[in-house]
Structure 1
């Protein structure tokens, strides 16, 4: 895996108006990122993205607001991880103390970006503390190989271990390997790349939103019951991670590119069922199309430019967030923006 990548302060080269538009629509004054497409809840994932965006756009005031709310409201009692969801107006807004591993990784990454920009050692120290607790709480070794559970509890059973391909953020693993040498992040990244290679289904060979790692080492990976067998809103982040990490010949990345560029549609559908081949009746969001454009440019190489949609083209927080993630990925990989 290539050496990587602090998605770094240079990302502030992106137009500041995009960040301002995002803040106006989705950032509450107290520092909570609002999921406008999901009843206004907040997630640790979104808080981590907000930290990354604020660091990329050199907005320390917003960064500290987001970090303060995240630690004050979502931090779990006995470690440095974070409860995965906040529901405004509920009797117990944080009713489930389970973490979401991707959210914790995004928070750690945002802290490392902030330290790279503002040289504030406590950001670095907290990122390392989160990284250590991710390993302590979620690291498992089925078949003797390291994987991170999607959360501390609820993903292990006699049927096997349920994993989420979109949580396998290779650029973050690489940065944590640089930050915490010898802690095992390189091995986790290597195994994640192998799982993404093996967990491909359907006509295009796509990663699903969720995958089941059976107990027997020789058994093929399967899509678990209880989740739709789709390449959908979660799984679109798997090719983003691969393209960001420079894995431009990875079959899961090439499969996603083939799906998005299939000539049977002018604009690709939002999801495809990996068993039946049925597709969504609505088109991929602007954020998904931003990922598709980035992956195409990374595969093509040679300075291929990426034209990103405006934040205002996205109807909801998730699509807008994906667009800003792609903008950071473009800058950090030297992919030119149109």
Structure 2
């Protein structure tokens, strides 16, 4: 406990007194060339070139940061025209261009919905177009209506409309806790539900310290009694989903106490010898090391100023690795 208290104090001192000199260019040109189709669809090169709302939201954020309004509009228009669910005002999460029905799965993914609404809200402010804000407000309202629930003493956002409510519990994805977006929603709307969601999500993250690594798994089960455990339908790994947890925590507040477990985990290995994932149930590590965008998240959270510019997209980066790099660059710029 003493070591954690000292680490928290170090985090706070770093955030308050260290000169944060980041301020880097977001590598939108390379992302745009490699992953944006002319019609506005972002392709997931690591997943058979499908598209999903996560990628569309990321793309909108990246185009916005680069002040590329034509690209932003193309991505948003394609998303609205092809993925919007008229039944609930949210978005079908997945588009498979080679399927007879590209949106056969009518479920949504609340991280994608959130990212889209967040990008639209920022675009309304940047480009002074009220239509963006109206669209964002509608998505935010739909999220509150359909996806935010009170369960086991917590206000939580379900990962999607279907498949996450179980007989004696619910399944959460902590990487869908897009805290900086929720902060902006709260500032804009002044709705208490966003503040409650932020507070309770951080309460939950503080308890999602599983196994020897003390890290959250990608998918987490919350019982009706309020107990937390890795969700049984997925590997008990802190992996490619969970890497976004420290990213969003840092983005929301670089001195957030929930970052302490990540500092502990990453400080156990040399930078180039950090496992890409760990099984929180048995402490088994991946046989390969962290790289690309995952490494960029590590560098962000560990606040290594010498690596501040290491977010350029390189040939080996697939869609997800490239996306993480650009998100890291935007997060750094947000605290510049």
TM-score after normalising by structure 1: 0.89
Residue 306 (structure 1) aligned with residue 308 (structure 2)? yes
Instruction: Classify the secondary structure of the residue corresponding to 1:53.
Output: helix
Contact 1:285–1:314 (Cα < 8 Å) also in 2: no
Q: Which runs of 5+ in 2 are unaligned?
A: 1-22
Contact 2:311–2:329 (Cα < 8 Å) also in 1: no
Match of 1:236 in 2: 243
Contact 2:118–2:181 (Cα < 8 Å) also in 1: yes
Q: CA deviation at 1:183?
A: 4.8
Distance 1:27 1:257 in 2: 34
Residue 227 (structure 1) aligned with residue 234 (structure 2)? yes
* Closer, same or farther: CA 120–158 of 1 in aligned 2, 3 Å: same
> 1:19-50: CA deviations, max 9, x gaps?
11111110000000000000011010100000
Residue 72 (structure 1) aligned with residue 81 (structure 2)? yes
* Closer, same or farther: CA 187–285 of 1 in aligned 2, 3 Å: same
Instruction: Classify the secondary structure of the residue corresponding to 2:58.
Output: helix
Match of 1:248 in 2: 255
Distance 2:127 2:312 in 1: 28
Instruction: Classify the secondary structure of the residue corresponding to 1:196.
Output: helix
Q: CA deviation at 1:204?
A: 2.5
1:1-338 alignment to 2 at 5 Å?
Answer: 14-15=24-25, 18-217=27-226, 220-246=227-253, 248-251=255-258, 253-263=259-269, 266-297=272-303, 306-312=308-314, 314-334=316-336
Distance 1:202 1:314 in 2: 32
Q: Which runs of 5+ in 1 are unaligned?
A: 1-12
Match of 1:8 in 2: none
Segments of 4+ in structure 1 off by > 6 A? none
Instruction: Classify the secondary structure of the residue corresponding to 1:209.
Output: coil
Contact 1:248–1:254 (Cα < 8 Å) also in 2: no
Count of equivalent residues: 314
Q: CA deviation at 1:304?
A: 7.8
Distance 1:265 1:172 in 2: 29
* Closer, same or farther: CA 314–121 of 1 in aligned 2, 3 Å: farther
Instruction: Classify the secondary structure of the residue corresponding to 2:229.
Output: coil
Q: CA deviation at 1:314?
A: 4.2
* Closer, same or farther: CA 55–265 of 1 in aligned 2, 3 Å: closer
Distance 1:269 1:67 in 2: 36
Distance 1:313 1:285 in 2: 13
Match of 2:13 in 1: none
TM-score after normalising by structure 2: 0.89
Distance 2:249 2:335 in 1: 12
Distance 2:82 2:192 in 1: 29
Distance 2:158 2:140 in 1: 14
Q: CA deviation at 1:180?
A: 1.2
Distance 1:213 1:151 in 2: 15
* Closer, same or farther: CA 329–228 of 1 in aligned 2, 3 Å: same
